[in-house]
């Protein structure tokens, strides 16, 4: 669920993780991985595997991956008073 395969002729295979806003979070090269390793990786990332293509997806997996991914935050510039504004907590995801 929420995993789309696109075949790009001539391109090295990679898993591209996107936020809910379709912003790129991470790219994971898959060239040196076996099918079993890729399946394990996707499961470890928290994606839900449906029993059949038309099977319902439990509510807790609607916005898979279920695990929090590292949030890529741009560096923050100091505020007018010279102090850097507080960053989001690691577990806080701005897209959710």
Mean predicted confidence (pLDDT) in 71-92 = 55
Tokens found for residue 4: 């789309």
Residue range 5-57, pLDDT digits in tens: 888 899 999 999 888 788 888 999 999 999 999 999 998 988 888 889 899 98
Output the 3-class SS for the chain. CCCCCCCCCCCCCEEEEECCCCCEEEEEECCCCCHHHHHHHHHHCCCCCCCCCCCCCCHHHCCCCCCCCCCCCCCCCCCCCCCCCCCCCCCCCCCC
**Does the pTM exceed 0.75?**
no
What distance lies between CA 95 and its chain's CA centroid? 12
User: Is the per-residue pLDDT at 69 higher than 60?
Assistant: no
Query: Domains plus CATH for the chain?
Result: 1-69 (3.40.30.50)
């Amino acid at each position: 669920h929420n995993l789309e395969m696109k075949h790009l002729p001539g391109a090295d295979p990679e898993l591209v993780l996107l936020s809910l806003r379709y912003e790129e979070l991470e790219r994971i090269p898959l060239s040196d991985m076996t099918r079993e390793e890729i399946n394990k990786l996707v499961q470890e990332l928290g994606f839900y595997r449906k029993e059949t293509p038309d099977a319902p997806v439990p509510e807790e997996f609607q916005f898979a991956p279920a695990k929090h991914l590292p949030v890529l935050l741009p560096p923050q510039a100091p505020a007018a008073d010279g102090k850097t504004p507080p960053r989001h907590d690691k577990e806080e995801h701005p897209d959710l």
